[in-house]
Amino acid sequence: MKKKKIPLRKITVIAQFAALTAICSWLQIPAIPIPFTMQTFAVFLSVYVLGMEKGFLSVLVYILLGVTGLPVFSRFQGGIGVIAGPTGGYIVGFLFTAVTTGALLRLCREKPVPVCLSMLAGLLVCYVFGTVWLIIMSKVTGGDLTLGSALEAAVLPFIIPDAVKILLAYLIGRKIKPVSDKYLKKHNNAEE
């Protein structure tokens, strides 16, 4: 059976967006228990520009880099402990955000409102996954975080900033996407 080679252009673009996500995680406003970062912006931009498969892979690469100990997470942290910690669910939730957003984007045909609503649906998936994780980790560590207090601490303060990030991801993504598509298509044509 012939092994399928992964095109270098595809690997390069995925790596660039994984690096962008790392950089965006370092851009933050400290808050307890979860800092305000630009990670979600990078996740939405990755999926919008690259599509579901490559966007998912860029998020996966970002998370795997962090799990290996590279300081790619917020506050320049890395390691499995970050994922196993109280906010790790939001990071893992980025994978589900990428799948949800990517699947819905396939139906949008580049119209602004449906694109932004697709990203919003992905954000809600991340909120659910991360909030449930936060509550479970609170219980494991002897805390008594309730759903209401978890939403108050980890979701409500982020709604408006995340809505702005979605809008930014759309506005910037619609400019970058044609360039990325052309770059990746060049390789596909060269392969044929």
Is residue 188 in a domain? no
Check whether 119 has a pLDDT greater than 50.
yes
Eight-class DSSP state of 7:
P
The Cα–Cα gap between 74 and 33 comes to 12
Is residue 185 in a domain? no
Check whether 190 has a pLDDT greater than 90.
no
Instruction: Residue 58: give its domain's CATH number.
Output: 1.10.1760.20
User: CB atoms < 10 A from the CB of 3, how many?
Assistant: 5
pLDDT band at 9 (very low <50, low <70, confident <90, very high): confident
Report pLDDT for 192.
41
Is residue 80 in a domain? yes
- Residues with Cβ within 8 Å of 187's Cβ and at least 6 positions away in sequence, in order, are 7, 8, 9, 10
Is residue 67 in a domain? yes
Report pLDDT for 69.
96
Is residue 131 in a domain? yes
Is residue 187 in a domain? no
Model pLDDT for residues 28-62, shown as the tens digit of each residue:
877 665 668 899 999 999 999 999 999 999 999 99
Report pLDDT for 142.
87
Proportion of the chain above pLDDT 90, given as a percent: 71
Number of domains in the chain: 1
* Core vs surface per residue 107-142: b (16+ CB within 10 A) or e: ebeeeeeebbebbbebbebbbebbbebbbebbeeee
Is residue 144 in a domain? yes
Q: Which of 50, 35, 122 shows the shortest CA–CA distance to 86?
A: 35
pLDDT band at 93 (very low <50, low <70, confident <90, very high): very high
Is residue 138 in a domain? yes
Lookup: tokens for 40: 């979600």
The Cα–Cα gap between 181 and 127 comes to 30
Q: What is the mean pLDDT of the chain?
A: 90
Domain that residue 106 falls in: 8-174
Check whether 191 has a pLDDT greater than 60.
no
User: CB atoms < 10 A from the CB of 26, how many?
Assistant: 15
Check whether 160 has a pLDDT greater than 60.
yes
